[in-house]
Amino acid sequence: MTTDLTRRSAAEMASLLSTKEVSSVELTQAHLDRTDAVDGLVHSYLHVDHEGALAQARAVDERRAAGDDLHVLAGVPIAVKDILTTIGLPTTAGSRILEGWIPPYDATVVTRLREAGMPILGKTNLDEFAMGSSTEHSAYGPSRNPWDLERIPGGSGGGSSSVVASFQAPLAIGTDTGGSIRQPAALTGTVGTKPTYGGVSRYGLVALASSLDQAGPCARSVLDTALLHAVIAGHDPLDSTSIDAPVPAVVEAARRADVSGMIVGVIKQLTGEGYQAGVQTRFDEAVALLVDRGATVVEVDCPSFDYALATYYLILPSEASSNLAKFDAMRYGLRVPPAGVDAPSAEQVMAASRDAGFGDEVKRRIILGTYALSSGYYAAYYGQAQKVRRLIADDFARAFATADVLLSPTAPTTAFKLGEKLDDPMAMYRGDVATIPANLAGVPGMSLPSGLADEDGLPTGIQILAPATQDDRLYAVGAALEAALVAQWGAPLLTRAPELTEGELR
């Protein structure tokens, strides 16, 4: 029964809870048991909150018993990426500099989960401050891909993707600065959405690059992703960049699952050369399925996308170098006195603490950002990148004038082996080549499984992009494609993942 419960969809869990066939305590306990059994293998969590999750589950069971009007997902447990603040639960952002920090406030996303009555199972692993594409840059050790434990689960949200793929949680929250929800979803055979920039509050999200960061839902089906999206989206007065407009009808769109009459654009710059053969094949087949379902396919040209990776890796470090200045060892976080200095100054303590507390990738990006913003180089790097960002946004605008949604493979390859790209930052960065343009322009994107690559048997993803604030289109197209693919496969893709046996792999 326990294993069966954790393998249900969130929508099915919600239904079982509403008819009282299962309690939230049973459901939450089933996931905690699963975590006790398999998280030693995949290392999806940095913190598991057994007592807190069960207390929240008991509370929602009591409210249901009392006949309260509950949210549709009330009682369904969830995991949260450890870059969102949580009262009473450690928030490390995957960094030593925040080790042991317990925030005194909740992120708005977390507040909304609590208000919906969703027990929080724990905090998921990530690349330090969400800088990475593999979760190998976590200060607490990498997460692993449930499809092959020798491989990465993607990044930076590898914890949130692998927790969902290994049935430790039906739903998780991720954040996506350059693809950190979508790329891990593709590599683990799960679904993830980066909402429109400003569609979900960033209050309480430890900022990496403020003009790019976006929290969003991770799940195993398009409908489950939509249900979670609807919980966390909407205006928040605590975030001045939050969009003050009604949330798109994402759940209705997922249930509609219709692409008839739609025009889907395949982005010329994000297919073909540089994409693994098995990834490209599954992508082409998925596009053909959409045609079968009544969509028309056109090719769209986005020439400025060729500059997106370079633009991103100037804008992101510039914003990161500014955002991470607050880790100064004064008010919270690690404080390390410099060795051999008597009565050190604040500046010396700051420099020693940041050296001790930040990992290699974080230092690399802060220093790169400091360079890009420095006098004499600003115009050539950061200033120029901002202009190219405009060109990329203009390419999107032109493309959406001819197509309702745009498509590409989510990631150029399937999951690579741990350690394979750690010493080659540019090779790591190229993993985000297809996801980054959406963050630069602020448009929403979704990744869903498109199958397994023939050459290695690993999951591949297809990315759907829509115009800003039209997130519902992702769900209409995603659900239609998912239905067609699952019908073809005979069962959801994750049923083909290897069984994880209990154990420990460190």
- Binding residues for other proteins restricted to 89-108, rule: CB under 8 A: 101-105
> Exposure string (b/e) for 358-371, b if CB count within 10 Å is 16 or more?
bbebbeebbebbbb
Taking CB under 8 A as the rule, does residue 347 contact other proteins? yes
**Interhelix angle for 24-42 vs 10-18, to 10°?**
150
Quote the least distance from Cβ 303 to other proteins, whole Å: 9
Q: Residue 312 and residue 436: Cα distance in Å, rounded? A: 7
Residues in 38-97 at the binding interface with other proteins, rule: CB under 8 A: none
Handedness of CA 184, 186, 191, 194 (dihedral sign): positive
| Residue with Cβ nearer other proteins (67 or 104) | 104
Q: Residue 55 and residue 73: Cα distance in Å, rounded? A: 17
Active site residues: 81, 156, 180
Which residue matches tokens 């939509």?
226
According to CB under 8 A, which one of 385, 405, 466, 481 is a site residue for other proteins? 385
Give me the DSSP letters along 425-442: HHHHHGGGTTTHHHHHHT
| Side-chain-side CA neighbours of residue 413 (13 Å) | 17
Taking CB under 8 A as the rule, does residue 384 contact other proteins? yes
Q: Which stretch binds other proteins (CB under 8 A): 12-20, 222-230, 292-300, 348-356?
A: 348-356
- Tell me 326's DSSP state: G
Q: Which stretch binds other proteins (CB under 8 A): 2-10, 47-55, 360-368, 399-407?
A: 360-368
Residues in 114-153 at the binding interface with other proteins, rule: CB under 8 A: none
Taking CB under 8 A as the rule, does residue 305 contact other proteins? no
According to CB under 8 A, which one of 193, 311, 410, 435 is a site residue for other proteins? 311
Six-digit token pair at 499? 């069984």
Taking CB under 8 A as the rule, does residue 313 contact other proteins? yes
According to CB under 8 A, which one of 12, 33, 301, 328 is a site residue for other proteins? 328
According to CB under 8 A, which one of 218, 230, 254, 334 is a site residue for other proteins? 334
Contact string 432-471 vs other proteins (x = CB under 8 A): --------xxx-------------------------x---
Q: Which stretch binds other proteins (CB under 8 A): 112-120, 166-174, 308-316, 400-408?
A: 308-316
Residues in 388-427 at the binding interface with other proteins, rule: CB under 8 A: 388-391, 393, 425-426
Q: Which stretch binds other proteins (CB under 8 A): 49-57, 128-136, 321-329, 485-493?
A: 321-329
Q: Which stretch binds other proteins (CB under 8 A): 347-355, 449-457, 477-485, 491-499?
A: 347-355
Which residue matches tokens 């405009």?
390
Distance of CA 208 to the CA centre of its chain: 14
Taking CB under 8 A as the rule, does residue 182 contact other proteins? no
The answer to whether 129 touches 94, Cβ cutoff 8 Å, is yes
Residues in 200-219 at the binding interface with other proteins, rule: CB under 8 A: 211
Taking CB under 8 A as the rule, does residue 234 contact other proteins? no
Residues in 363-382 at the binding interface with other proteins, rule: CB under 8 A: 363-364, 366-368, 370-371, 374, 380-381
Sheet containing 215-219: give its strands across: 45-48, 120-124, 78-81, 172-175, 215-219, 191-194, 445-452, 459-465, 405-409, 263-267, 296-300
Q: Residue 422 and residue 274: Cα distance in Å, rounded? A: 20
